[in-house]
Amino acid sequence: MNQTSKPSQPINNPAPVMLVTGGAKRIGAAIVRAAHDQGYRVIVHCHHSKQEAIALADALNNARPDSAVVVPADLTVVDNSEVLHEFTQNIMQAFGQLDVLVHNASRFYPSPLGSINHAQWDELFLTNAKAPLLISQALYPYLRSQRGCIISLLDIHAHNKPFKNYAIYNMAKAAHRMMVQSLALDMAPDVRVNGVAPGVNILPETDSDQALDPQQQKSIIDTIPMQRIGNPAEIAHSVLYLAQASYVTGEIIAVDGGRSLTLAGGQA
């Protein structure tokens, strides 16, 4: 968990600090850039995408010196209290404060009935439920001292409209959704906790096992009232709104182009 791109003057800067887990690419990187554009100092957590995270932090530091730090870690840090403490200290040493924690890191893949196994359960629940809860708990004292907030990236399928063949993912995201609502009560009034539930706001990478062919993409767009795929910047916009909405807690905003209005469930 070596810290990289550490600023030379990490304290005595009044700008708020945001940590984004899984912040190196895609939606996470869009949130990092949007926050940075609004004057935040940013901590980019990553695991496998360390080079992308460093490149992102370097670009942000070139635009505004001493404004971005990378903290790499496997989310299994939550399984060991001493390692989790070290991870927490690495985060707090970056800038000496934390105002916003964004849970974006997630794994997403099918677990068809008949092939479900312990490894899938452990990985999907780790990234989508267990790690967000235990990281929130570990960072709660620091967020409380700043009257800060937590924002979780969820899924419109986490509430009553599950993906077919994604039982474990659906269950884990549903647990994460309940975490948002539970912590909103447990951390009030000092820390606000909210969520953003994307619909189809970014397509799977074309070289991944989740890639969609043009016909699949068209069939999805046909179910979206706004008749287009969303984009990461639209998720980032909602995250930044919740970061500043001082009287909003326990809420989950769907950013899905209206898809949840027409979705019957069972569709990917």
Question: pLDDT by residue (tens digit) across 171-215?
Answer: 999 999 999 999 999 999 999 999 999 987 666 666 665 556 677
pTM of the model: 0.91
For the chain, the average pLDDT equals: 90
Which whole number is the average pLDDT over 124-148? 98
* pLDDT for res 180: 98
pLDDT category of residue 32 using cuts at 50, 70 and 90 = very high
Which whole number is the average pLDDT over 259-266? 76
Say which range, 19-23, 179-183, 224-228, has the weakest mean pLDDT: 224-228
User: Catalytic: 169?
Assistant: yes
The fraction of the chain above a pLDDT of 90, given in percent, is: 74
Which two tokens mark 217? 């993409």
In whole angstroms, what is the distance from residue 194 CA to residue 149 CA?
Answer: 8
What are the pLDDT digits (tens) for 233-243?
Answer: 999 999 999 99
* pLDDT for res 214: 73
Q: What secondary structure does DSSP assign to the chain, as a single string?
A: ---BS--S--SS--S-EEEETT-SSHHHHHHHHHHHHTT-EEEEEESS-HHHHHHHHHHHHHHSTT-EEEEE--GGGGGSHHHHHHHHHHHHHHHS---EEEE---------TTS--HHHHHHHHIIIIIHHHHHHHHHHHHHHHTT-EEEEE--GGGSS-PPTT-HHHHHHHHHHHHHHHHHHHHSTTTSEEEEEEESSSSPPPTTSTT---HHHHHHHHTT-TT-S---HHHHHHHHHHHHH-TT--S-EEEESTTHHHH--SS--
Vertex 115: Cα angle to 113 and 120 (nearest 5)? 100
In whole angstroms, what is the distance from residue 243 CA to residue 18 CA?
Answer: 9
Is the per-residue pLDDT at 266 higher than 90? no
Task: Look at residues 129, 245, 251, 130 and name the one whose alpha carbon lies nearest to residue 197.
Answer: 251
The owner of tokens 């326990």 is 250
* pLDDT for res 184: 98
Is the per-residue pLDDT at 19 higher than 80? yes
pLDDT category of residue 98 using cuts at 50, 70 and 90 = very high
Q: At what angle do helices 26-37 and 232-244 cross, to 10 degrees?
A: 50
Among 40, 142, 169, 247, the one annotated catalytic: 169
**What is each CA distance from 227 to 206, 220, 245, in whole angstroms?**
21, 9, 29
pLDDT category of residue 1 using cuts at 50, 70 and 90 = very low
Which whole number is the average pLDDT over 27-46? 98
Q: Which residues contact 81 (CB under 8 A, 6 or more apart)?
A: none
Is the per-residue pLDDT at 4 higher than 70? no
**Where do the domains of the chain lie, and which CATH numbers do they carry?**
17-257 (3.40.50.720)
Higher local confidence (pLDDT), 263 or 42: 42
